[in-house]
Amino acid sequence: MITARSVGVGVVLGAMLSIVAMKLSLTSVYLPFLTIPAGLMSFFLSRWWVRLLHGCGVAQLPFTRQENTVIQTFAVSCTNIAYTGGFGSYILAMSKSSADDEGGIANSGRNVEEPQIGRLVAFLFLTNFIGIFAVMPFRNSLIIRHYLTFPTGTATAHLINNIHTPQGVKQASKQVSVMFKTLGATMAVSMWQWLFEGGAHCGFRSFPIFGLAAARLGFTFDFSMTDIGIGLLSPYKVTISMLAGSILSWGIMLPYIVSKEGCWYPSGIGGLNAYRWFIGISMILADALFQLLCILVRTLRAMHNRRQSRLSGQPSICLGADDHRRPARSFDDRRRAQVFLRDRVYDPAAVVGYVALSAVSIVAIPRLYPQLRSGYVAIAYLAAPLFAFCNAYGTGMTGVNLGPTYGKIAVLAFGSWVGLHNGGVVAGLAGGVIVLSAVVTASDLMQVFRTGYLTLTSPHAVLISTVAGTTLGCVINPLIFWMLYGAYGGGDGAPVTPYAKVYRGMAILSVSQQDLPRHSILLRKVFFAVALAISVLREVSERRKWRAVARYLPCNVAVAVAFFMPPKVPIGLFRRDGEGARMRSPAVAAGMICGDGLGSLLRSMLMLSRARPPVCMMFLSRGANKRLDDIFAERMMTTSS
């Protein structure tokens, strides 16, 4: 399942991408998604390895799709630690370099912790495996029964399948040609757009497609090929639900709440975010809790049916995660389900591993960060499976990872519980890393399981490469961080990353003992009840086959996700449900996502080399443009005189 060359290439690629990701996390607010570039780079590095050894007279077996998937999984699992570890945000927010010079209790004493490499390695090992254990029992339900798309994992799988397809198959050749043409065109468009981003609010990122009045509310089009590609892979109901959620949130509710600034919440404290977070998370929790309950009921019923079948001597069905799952639509789907379910990963082992790791963490983490006592760590590990499942379910449906939002909520919760005088700033940030690591790792694991499912890769190989890559990442990323930390400001106390002060300010806000904004709890309860009612009605309509009702029920998770992101993302995702292009849409979507990912990597390289775009293009109203022309004319006259 796992070859020596796949391990070697995975280690090299993981180390290379970890350096890029860590440097970006310490110097900018943008970290590109490296899954697609990892899949492409693993293919070309492995092919180069095989050809080099063949040239030296060493016989090598052909490079396979499974090896490609294993290398990509290993490298991404290693690289993601640069993000889930919170190096550029949570960890640096604890340090003195991010604290204000004015001092005070919030910026001294127990509310400051300088990063130490030994503590970071131990902390990462305790926090980055809990998501793997927490979501493992739900893999068959999420991948097989619910058949969630996990758009990034699907795009990666199409990329791997296409580049390994024999050229003699006519249809596969067409898909490969379409994918690589789209990839090249997307990369060219991405680099062309970069030329016009020579300043703040410049370029095509804020194209006022619905006019300047709507653009002031965030309804713009940013020409993101990744969003368009994810929209091609997502069901039509998901994209239309996200657009409806954007209109409800950013077009109706949030402008009304902004008009209540100073009445519902104090001015200038960012109280609007509290409404967004509470409403969105409450809808996601309602839908995910209902789905979790349905999964438990179906599992218990399946166990009861198997037991009754054994007692009666009748054979039981061995293939399929649930009796009510619709049958596979093709031979390929049946074959993929067979391979995915054949290599079983026993759920009791995952449960035992989670319990054991939780017990160790409850004792060890308070020794690493004394501000976070054992009781609070226990609460975090009890809540982590629920949040991990919710985030994995939402990512599978929409392709949007809400791990940062869960982490921010954990910062506010743990900081307020511990309090200012007991080190609530550091406790909130450390608790945020625990929750962030759990939910992001869980969704990433389901993404690679989806890739493995579509590439006929053994689930055992996917799990082993994920664990191995995470282990390497927990060691190599702190080393990279420690080297770059001193080089980019750790020695002279200067702020290292723009995110560090933001997260520290959030943690200080959590211990400031301020009340929640008015009506935020009420709105959370109302939206929780509405989302739960929609989930129940959808389940009943599917059971009773009320197609007319089920057709017009929105997707709760998609509507909730719209509260967390600007409207430009749902606008990019939205599409018509065309039937004629269904055959080529996965290839086009994969090419768009891959090309945009590689383009983002090239743009990041330009940013690291301190290259700047030469042109600034902005969109102004007619009146603003006239005033600007008058100012230029006046200055030219003054200069000439």
Any domain includes 198: no
Query: Quick check: 81 and 474 in contact, CB under 8 A?
Result: yes
Region of 423 please: left (phi>0), alpha (psi -120 to 50) or beta. left
What pTM was estimated for this model as a whole?
0.70
Query: Quick check: 474 and 130 in contact, CB under 8 A?
Result: no
Q: pLDDT tens digits, residue range 349-373?
A: 888 999 999 999 999 999 999 999 9
Domain that holds residue 50: 4-149+234-575
pLDDT > 80? residue 267: no
Any domain includes 274: yes
pLDDT > 70? residue 514: no
Buried/exposed 26-60: b ≥16 CB within 10 Å, e otherwise:
bbeeebbbbbbbbbbbbbebbeebbeeeeeeeeee
Any domain includes 519: yes
Any domain includes 639: no
State mean pLDDT over 241-265.
85
Q: pLDDT tens digits, residue range 528-579?
A: 999 999 989 988 888 888 877 878 888 888 888 788 778 887 888 776 655 5
Any domain includes 170: no
Q: Which residue in 478, 475, 562 sits closest to 527, CA to CA?
A: 562
pLDDT > 70? residue 29: no
Any domain includes 536: yes
* Domains identified in the chain, total number: 1
Mean pLDDT of all residues belonging to the chain: 80
Both structure tokens of 325: 């799952």
Write down the pLDDT at residue 318.
Answer: 38
Any domain includes 73: yes
Q: Name the band, by pLDDT with cuts 50, 70 and 90, for residue 316.
A: very low
436: helix, coil or strand? helix
State mean pLDDT over 216-235.
80
Any domain includes 53: yes
Most confident of 218-222, 320-324, 456-460: 456-460
